[in-house]
Amino acid sequence: MKTKCLVLLSGGQDSTTCLFWAKKKFGITETVSFDYGQRHRIELKSAAKIAGLAGVKNSVIVIKEFEAIKYSALLDLKADVSKKHSLNKDLPATFVPGRNILFLTAAAALAYTKGIKNIVIGVSQVDYSGYPDCRGEFIKSMEKSLSLGMEYPLKIHTPLIKLDKKKTVLLAKKLGALDIMKHTHTCYEGANPPCGKCPACLLREKGFKEAGIKDPLKA
């Protein structure tokens, strides 16, 4: 019997790597993307493109709860994505409070309706910009809470949790997913071609450089 899984697909480098990891590990793979009012909405087009190329079904869930939140550079076009968070100077301005909590909750509810018990998310506690909702401890807590709250045994897989960007690039190469990286979107500014200056662009550049591989997005 084939095992089903649901991958959270943002259209970025990490979630795309996770998609191809999931396609090798599980029999039936679907993806879900989120329209939450993000400034880099181009990622939704990237996610749809990547899902199509990978031959998987992609669902889009609209999350309006963040419309009332002003305290994240990813939700405010006028904010500087390179600064510290206005409410917590230990975090980057791009931190969206509660984002992965809502994403995983919505994904779990969708998985429930589809009879899917495996969820894959591309968080890393190595190159995670300090986001508290990218830590292994948080993921384990969500897995337990969602399973209890729905009386449905869910497993949240985090294949990148202990990988830095260099190792993530090398994993993508191993999975045969490098070419599709030219369709991914990472830039916080939503620029195409990418700005090359925001924290996300710099981290991506660092990973490919350390891996000794040319970024297909720039080829």
Instruction: Please give the pLDDT value at position 77.
Output: 67
The overall average pLDDT reported for the chain is: 90
Interval 102-117: pLDDT, tens: 999 999 999 999 999 9
pTM score, two decimals? 0.93
Instruction: Please give the pLDDT value at position 159.
Output: 98
Task: State mean pLDDT over 151-160.
Answer: 98
* CB contact at 8 A, 133 and 170: no
Instruction: Please give the pLDDT value at position 97.
Output: 85
Instruction: Please give the pLDDT value at position 129.
Output: 65
Interval 62-101: pLDDT, tens: 998 887 776 776 777 677 667 766 656 667 777 888 899 9
Instruction: Please give the pLDDT value at position 118.
Output: 98
Between CA 209 and CA 58 the distance in angstroms is 31
Between CA 149 and CA 174 the distance in angstroms is 37
The structural domains of the chain, ordered by start, are 4-218 (3.40.50.620)
**Does 128 have pLDDT greater than 60?**
no
